[in-house]
């Protein structure tokens, strides 16, 4: 379960019925199911507070429904979170859909592709409270649909093509550092091969975190960061860039790392981690937040 602070609001909270919580976006009472508390509310808050999407552009309750045909009111799919380009929530302005069911990555992707195929949305998110998938819908010549995985979401007002093109001054603190590291921990534990012990996995995450911190402190405000993954970028290029960073980390922190220390995470999984962290300024987070993040890497699943 997430901490209460992850779904708290700055405005006074009315008295709620037992077993209910206040929806972050609509301010309506909703049942406090694990899916709602651990995924829908967490990601709603991240969209607003981290990615900058105005709350007025987002619909959670009543749920927006993707229809199989424009005139079909019965055959439709409820969307956990819908993000629009305007405040009017018109169907043609649908931009992003979020699916928060507790399911596996493969079935989550299949559901997203259905939503994106039937709607005007260009971006789909699957988030189950433990890991995520970001998809971008593209039209190939001839009108064929293509779904490309994204390393992260564009911020409000940012083009998809600009993902990963961050200068140091563009990085922002995040309100969800513990949630992000929980996501990273679960994803790597379920997808890495050859790293089975918890302490080994935790050390790999810490190695990457040092790369991120080094990059933030080494770059001037107008310099592009190296800890990044762009739209459509080859994971091998991301991998090589991170290995170069880690060589610099070992030279800078020779009292912490030995020359023989390595990053053993494969290119695809490194790209996943970099995508999760690249938007945020870890060095500007509170000491407690960073401590919580380190704690998550060491907790047994």
Question: Is 134:152 a contact under the CB 8 Å cutoff?
Answer: yes
140 falls within a domain:
yes
154 falls within a domain:
no
Is 14 in the same domain as 134? Answer: yes
Cα distance between residue 54 and residue 275, in whole Å: 22
Q: Give the number of residues written for the chain.
A: 301
Give kind and range of the element (H or E) at residue 47. Answer: helix 41-49
Question: Is 284:175 a contact under the CB 8 Å cutoff?
Answer: no
Domain housing 211: 168-298
Q: In the prediction, which pLDDT does 8 show?
A: 47
Residue 177: which of 265, 44, 269, 46 has the closest Cα? 46
Is 294 in the same domain as 217? Answer: yes
Q: In the prediction, which pLDDT does 234 show?
A: 97
Is 189 in the same domain as 129? Answer: no
Is 115 in the same domain as 204? Answer: no
From 149, 182, 206, the end of a domain falls on 149
Q: What beta strand segments (E) does 106-240 contain? A: 123-127, 132-139, 145-149
Is 179 in the same domain as 274? Answer: yes
Cα distance between residue 85 and residue 88, in whole Å: 9
Instruction: Give phi and psi for 41, each to the nearest 5.
Output: -70, -40
Is 37 in the same domain as 132? Answer: yes
Q: Pseudo-torsion of CA 266, 102, 86, 52, nearest 10°?
A: -50
Q: In the prediction, which pLDDT does 23 show?
A: 98
Q: In the prediction, which pLDDT does 297 show?
A: 62
Torsion over CA: 81, 85, 88, 93 (sign): negative
Q: In the prediction, which pLDDT does 255 show?
A: 94
Is 24 in the same domain as 132? Answer: yes
From 114, 149, 184, the end of a domain falls on 149
Is 54 in the same domain as 119? Answer: yes
Q: In the prediction, which pLDDT does 12 show?
A: 56
216 falls within a domain:
yes
State the 10-residue block means of pLDDT for the chain, 301 residues long.
44 77 97 96 96 98 87 79 97 97 88 95 95 95 93 96 95 89 89 76 91 96 97 97 98 94 96 96 81 62 40
Instruction: Write the CA distances from 123 to 134, 144, 148, 229, integer angstroms.
Output: 7, 16, 10, 17
Residue 131: which of 65, 85, 184 has the closest Cα? 184
- Which residues neighbour 267 within 8 Å (Cβ) at sequence distance 6 or greater? 235, 236, 238, 239
Is 41 in the same domain as 136? Answer: yes
Q: In the prediction, which pLDDT does 91 show?
A: 93
Residue 295: which of 201, 213, 186, 202 has the closest Cα? 202
Q: In the prediction, which pLDDT does 68 show?
A: 76
285 falls within a domain:
yes
Instruction: Give phi and psi for 145, each to the nearest 5.
Output: -80, 140
pTM for this predicted structure: 0.88
Per the structure, how many domains does the chain have?
2
162 falls within a domain:
no
- DSSP per-residue string spanning 99-130: E--S--HHHHHHHHHHHHHHSS-SEEEEE-SS
89 falls within a domain:
yes
274 falls within a domain:
yes
Question: Is 85:57 a contact under the CB 8 Å cutoff?
Answer: yes
Q: In the prediction, which pLDDT does 264 show?
A: 93
Question: Is 275:152 a contact under the CB 8 Å cutoff?
Answer: yes
- Which residues neighbour 2 within 8 Å (Cβ) at sequence distance 6 or greater? 37, 38, 41, 42, 129, 179
- Tokens encoding 30: 């909703």
Is 135 in the same domain as 68? Answer: yes
Is 70 in the same domain as 116? Answer: yes
121 falls within a domain:
yes
- Tokens encoding 179: 């949630």
Is 20 in the same domain as 141? Answer: yes
Instruction: Write the CA distances from 267 to 127, 147, 168, 197, 273, integer angstroms.
Output: 22, 20, 23, 20, 10
């Amino acid at each position: 379960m997430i901490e209460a602070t992850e779904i708290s609001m700055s405005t006074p909270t009315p008295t709620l019925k037992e077993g209910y919580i206040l929806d972050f976006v609509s301010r309506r009472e909703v049942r406090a199911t694990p899916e709602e508390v651990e995924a829908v509310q967490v990601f709603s808050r991240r969209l607003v507070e981290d990615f900058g999407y105005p709350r007025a552009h987002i619909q959670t309750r009543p749920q927006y429904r993707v229809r199989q045909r424009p005139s079909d009111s019965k055959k439709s799919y409820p969307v956990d979170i819908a993000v629009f380009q305007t405040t009017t929530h018109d169907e043609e302005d649908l931009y992003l859909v979020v699916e928060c069911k507790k399911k596996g990555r493969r079935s989550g992707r299949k559901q997203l592709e259905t939503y994106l195929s039937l709607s005007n949305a260009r971006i789909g998110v699957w988030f189950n409270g433990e890991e995520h998938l970001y998809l971008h819908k593209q039209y190939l010549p001839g009108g064929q649909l293509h779904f490309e995985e994204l390393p992260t979401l564009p911020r409000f007002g940012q083009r998809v093509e600009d993902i990963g093109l961050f200068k140091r001054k563009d990085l922002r603190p995040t309100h969800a550092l513990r949630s992000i590291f929980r996501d990273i921990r679960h994803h790597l534990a379920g997808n890495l091969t050859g790293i089975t012990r918890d302490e080994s996995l935790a050390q790999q995450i810490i190695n990457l975190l040092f790369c991120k911190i080094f990059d933030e402190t080494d770059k001037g405000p107008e310099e592009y960061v190296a800890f990044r993954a762009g739209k459509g970028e080859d994971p091998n290029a991301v991998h090589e860039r991170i290995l170069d960073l880690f060589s610099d980390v070992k030279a800078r922190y020779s009292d912490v790392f030995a020359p023989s220390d390595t990053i053993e995470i494969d290119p695809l999984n490194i790209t996943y981690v970099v995508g999760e962290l690249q938007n945020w300024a870890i060095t500007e987070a509170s000491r407690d937040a960073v401590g919580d993040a380190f704690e998550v890497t060491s907790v047994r699943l």
